[in-house]
Amino acid sequence: MSTSTSEFQLTIEKQMEIVQGVELLNGVEDLYGGITLQMEKPMDSEAFLSALRASISQWIHQGKRAIWVKLPTELVNLVEPAVKEGFRYHHAEPDYVMLVKWISNSTNTIPENASHRVGIGAFVLNDKKEVLVVQEKSGKFKGSGVWKFPTGVVNEGEDIATVAIREVKEETGIDAEFLEILAFRQSHKSFFTKSDLFFVCMLRPKTFDIQKQDTEIEAAKWMALEEYAAQPFIQKHSAFSSVAQVCLTKLEKGYVGFSPVATTSASGKTNYQYVNSRDLHRL
Amino acid sequence: MSTSTSEFQLTIEKQMEIVQGVELLNGVEDLYGGITLQMEKPMDSEAFLSALRASISQWIHQGKRAIWVKLPTELVNLVEPAVKEGFRYHHAEPDYVMLVKWISNSTNTIPENASHRVGIGAFVLNDKKEVLVVQEKSGKFKGSGVWKFPTGVVNEGEDIATVAIREVKEETGIDAEFLEILAFRQSHKSFFTKSDLFFVCMLRPKTFDIQKQDTEIEAAKWMALEEYAAQPFIQKHSAFSSVAQVCLTKLEKGYVGFSPVATTSASGKTNYQYVNSRDLHRL
């Protein structure tokens, strides 16, 4: 990419003037024309600003497109100078904020931040056609008397199947094996402006004696699946009655969901793909 | 909740002293014992700090548990005082940063930020058993010669099905109808520390003349599905060959995925649930 027509371009003379006497910042290059500065050592905000300006001049000259600045909480004094230099927030986690500035005159292709939270509901069915249900001590179902599936949040880096097994164990003490995903739901504005994906996972119990967790769980028990599905709250809201119908169909007529298959990506990572294994392997 | 044993509790006398002469901040209460401050007007950082301290004293006294502070980019001067007052980053979007502080002595239940990015790949099959494929101008497939499905990112607030239709139209000019999700993949550390969910969507084309988008797309065409699946790159990586196998099975043997059903949640929102409709409605 040529920078000769860039509106951001400084003359060579001007760049040299800025660079002289100012230490440049060291960044890590990525495959998309970006530079990431992982600031770690304490720095005076004036010194940071001078070094940032000089470094950006050089990166523009080199045809770079985006500059990322990662500031750990301890370097909060550098947030204001970065924003005043035209950086905007990209994302933040408890221990840092990431800012970014597009320095090219080509179309801005900075990817958006994570957009979805992911949750699971665990449908654990025993041989007596009973489902594992709980009542929670807090949240929107508190005090409602509704018996619900154990649920949980899938955080970054966690496999859906692993979280389903863990949440069942944590809430009820039951060991279970992951079988398949029966259905999922996408909803919006569930957490600030973020969207939500909720996966209904079927598990086979390997133990049966319930040891409920006391902090979050008011009660836990095995309940006939028909009785679960017949609860007025479940019947009233189609988001719930639809899931109950899927579970009843699974029990009675052989409903097939998506089951996990380990696959390898181009970068060599092992990931789980979820597919209709019955149809895929039918002769 | 009693605050009598709270390590954060100030004596009533101390609180009154702080409150006197300092304007308190107005927050919006939520259902979980939280208060959200949506700061909008410019404010001196010293005045903010005094008002924040006095307000927090009052909220601790009232048994509140978490304080959220939303600071738009223009109020970047208030980030440093908030962090020094014990707030930590929760999340950030291009135009604001959200900070949070847990002020209760009960277990911290602040929910995590969005954890996943969501993408789609569009499997658009015409009546000649040809699939719609593209080559991209940038990204990891650039210059590789690999023909791939049109892909796109599902941002917050967007339905998976809508994005699949839109991306096909944008990249190739083809109008298509959404049918079902054939498979999906979860991967980790795909974007900083965030995880990724990628949905393989099947669409039926309603038009057939390709008008490719010039900025991102190098080439687009209809290609025999067998030829797509036989590409060395696809064969080499099981994450891709597995999807190709699902598509071939769909064509040849009647593979069934998950199709969307509109449902209503307890809060009255309409959401899409994705289920195996064939199994669900089989007599």
pLDDT digits over A105-148, tens only? Answer: 988 888 888 999 999 999 999 999 999 999 998 777 888 899 99
Examine residue A111 and state whether it is found in any structural domain, yes or no.
no
Residue B112 to residue B133: CA distance in whole angstroms: 38
Report pLDDT for B177.
98
Examine residue A23 and state whether it is found in any structural domain, yes or no.
yes
Do B92 and B157 lie in one domain? The reply is no
Do B157 and B206 lie in one domain? The reply is yes
Structural element, H or E, at residue A232: helix A232-236
Residue B165 to residue B177: CA distance in whole angstroms: 7
Among B49, B68, B102, where does a domain finish?
Answer: B102
Do B45 and B168 lie in one domain? The reply is no
**Is the CB of residue A282 less than 8 Å away from at least one CB of chain B?**
yes
Taking 80 as the threshold, does the pLDDT of residue A19 lie above it? no
- Residue B180 Cα distances to A8, A55, B64, B201, B259, angstroms: 46, 49, 45, 6, 4
Q: Which of residues 185-204 of B touch A (CB under 8 A)?
A: 185-189, 191-195, 197
**Is the CB of residue A114 less than 8 Å away from at least one CB of chain B?**
yes
B chain contacts of residue A89, beta-carbon cutoff 8 Å: 73, 92-97
Examine residue A250 and state whether it is found in any structural domain, yes or no.
yes
Taking 60 as the threshold, does the pLDDT of residue A53 lie above it? yes
Do A98 and A121 lie in one domain? The reply is no
DSSP letter for A41, please: S
How many residues does this entry show for chain B? 283
Contacts of A232 (CB under 8 A, 6+ apart): none
Inter-chain touch B88–A94, beta carbons under 8 Å:
yes
Report pLDDT for A217.
92
Report pLDDT for B265.
85
Do A193 and A232 lie in one domain? The reply is yes
Q: Is B106 helix (H, G, I), strand (E, B) or coil?
A: coil
Report pLDDT for B193.
81
Report pLDDT for A254.
85
Residue B149 to residue B259: CA distance in whole angstroms: 19
DSSP assignment string, A86-104: T-EEEEEETTEEEEEEE-S
Do B138 and B86 lie in one domain? The reply is no
Q: How many domains does chain A have?
A: 2
Q: What are phi and psi of A82, to 5 degrees?
A: -65, -45
Residue B136 catalytic?
no
Sign of CA dihedral A205, A206, A210, A213: negative
At residue B124's C-alpha, the angle toward residues B119 and B128, to 5°, is 160
Examine residue B122 and state whether it is found in any structural domain, yes or no.
yes
Low-confidence ranges of chain B (pLDDT < 50): 1-18
Neighbours of B97 (CB within 10 A): 26
Report pLDDT for B50.
93
Among A102, A137, A167, where does a domain finish?
Answer: A102
Do A76 and A124 lie in one domain? The reply is no
Predicted confidence band of residue A283 (pLDDT cuts 50, 70, 90) = low
Examine residue A4 and state whether it is found in any structural domain, yes or no.
no
Report pLDDT for B10.
44
Report pLDDT for A181.
98
> Closest-CA residue in chain A for B266?
A237
Do A92 and A125 lie in one domain? The reply is no
Do B167 and B57 lie in one domain? The reply is no
A chain contacts of residue B242, beta-carbon cutoff 8 Å: 261, 263, 273, 275
> If you average pLDDT over every residue of chain A, what do you get?
89
Report pLDDT for A135.
95
Report pLDDT for A193.
81
CATH of the domain at A147: 3.90.79.10
- pTM for the model stands at 0.84
**Cβ–Cβ under 8 Å, residues A228 and A234:** yes
Predicted confidence band of residue A243 (pLDDT cuts 50, 70, 90) = very high
Report pLDDT for B19.
52
What's the pLDDT tens digit per position in A189-205? 887 788 999 999 999 99
Question: Closest partner residue to A186 among B193, B255, B271, by Cβ?
Answer: B271
Question: Closest partner residue to B215 among A76, A107, A237, by Cβ?
Answer: A107
Listed as own residue / partner, the contacts of B4-7 with beta carbons closer than 8 Å and 24 or more positions apart are B5/B105, B6/B60, B6/B104, B6/B105, B7/B105
**Is the CB of residue B154 less than 8 Å away from at least one CB of chain A?**
yes
At residue B126's C-alpha, the angle toward residues B125 and B128, to 5°, is 120
What's the pLDDT tens digit per position in A81-92? 999 999 999 999
Examine residue B128 and state whether it is found in any structural domain, yes or no.
yes
Write down the ipTM of this complex. Answer: 0.84
Residue B47 to residue B54: CA distance in whole angstroms: 11
Catalytic option among A7, A170, A218, A252: A170
Do B15 and B132 lie in one domain? The reply is no
Among A102, A124, A157, where does a domain finish?
Answer: A102
Inter-chain touch A97–B93, beta carbons under 8 Å:
no
Report pLDDT for B141.
80
What's the pLDDT tens digit per position in A155-200? 889 999 999 999 999 999 999 999 999 999 999 988 778 899 999 9
Inter-chain touch A258–B184, beta carbons under 8 Å:
yes
CATH of the domain at A33: 3.40.630.30
Examine residue B83 and state whether it is found in any structural domain, yes or no.
yes
Do A91 and A121 lie in one domain? The reply is no
Question: Closest partner residue to A238 among B156, B237, B263, by Cβ?
Answer: B263
Give the minimum alpha-carbon distance from B148 to chain A in angstroms, rounded to a whole number. 13
The CA dihedral of B40, B42, B43, B44, to the nearest 10 degrees, is 150
The shares of helix, strand and coil residues in chain A, as percent rounded to the nearest 5, are 30, 35, 35
Report pLDDT for A21.
61
How many residues does this entry show for chain A? 283
- Residue A123 tokens, joined: 């449908």
Do B70 and B142 lie in one domain? The reply is no
- Residue A26 tokens, joined: 């060291």
Domain carrying residue A48: 9-102
Examine residue A3 and state whether it is found in any structural domain, yes or no.
no
